[in-house]
């Protein structure tokens, strides 16, 4: 009895094996035919377009090629392909917009850097002028001491005028405020 069961199981498994082998061969044949069709479509798409084209049926935009593609591709693959093409177009447009935005931001950055460099240069010049004025004040105080004058008198005289010297409207510190005057340190 067990031997008969095993023989029966063995026959069933052999039949399943044969059916699976046939299905495998059928799928391999279908795969090969799809590869050939795919290669034909690729070749058709690579053909030059225009009036000099020898065979208009190979034009990838022609209805014959579209019908062939429609016959080969299942409906859900066509939908996926259309979705991917739409997404690709959208991403290309977004990339172009992003590139334009990046170029605009780069221009703004360059302008801001130029303005910052100009301000830094002006600040350095102002600092140098301030240093020069302090040296002049010290030299004047030394000269007054040597002449026997009182430096306190000079300081008392200069200190009230000092805020006006540092005023933003003072052309000594801000030579660009002078009408038609070159920007040069004292």
What is the rounded average pLDDT of the residues 88-93? 92
More confident residue, 66 or 105: 105
For the entire predicted model, the pTM comes to 0.36
- pLDDT for residue 48: 61
177-182-183-184 Cα dihedral, nearest 10 degrees: -130
Could you report the per-residue pLDDT of 16-36, keeping only the tens digit for each?
999 999 999 999 999 998 988
The DSSP code for 159 is G
For 50, left (φ over 0), alpha (ψ -120 to 50), or beta?
A: left
Could you report the per-residue pLDDT of 154-174, keeping only the tens digit for each?
566 666 666 666 666 665 555
Q: Count CA atoms within 13 Å of residue 63 on its CB side.
A: 0
Could you report the per-residue pLDDT of 109-159, keeping only the tens digit for each?
999 999 999 999 999 999 999 999 999 999 999 999 998 755 555 566 666
């Amino acid at each position: 009895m067990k031997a008969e069961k095993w023989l029966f199981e063995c026959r069933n498994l052999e039949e399943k094996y044969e059916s699976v082998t046939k299905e495998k061969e059928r799928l391999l044949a279908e795969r090969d035919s799809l590869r050939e069709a795919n290669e034909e479509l690729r070749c058709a798409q690579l053909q030059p377009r225009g009036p000099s084209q020898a065979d208009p049926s190979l034009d990838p935009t022609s209805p014959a090629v579209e019908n062939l593609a429609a016959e080969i591709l299942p409906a859900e693959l066509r939908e996926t392909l259309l979705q991917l093409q739409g997404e690709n177009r959208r991403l290309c447009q977004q990339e172009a917009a992003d590139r334009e935005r990046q170029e605009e931001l780069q221009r703004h950055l360059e302008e801001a850097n130029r303005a910052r460099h100009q301000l830094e240069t002006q600040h350095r010049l102002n600092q140098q002028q301030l240093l020069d004025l302090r040296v002049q004040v010290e030299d004047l105080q030394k000269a007054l001491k040597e002449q026997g004058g009182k430096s306190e008198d000079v300081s008392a005289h200069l200190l009230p005028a000092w805020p006006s010297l540092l005023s933003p409207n003072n052309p000594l510190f801000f030579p660009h405020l002078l009408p038609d005057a070159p920007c040069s340190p004292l």
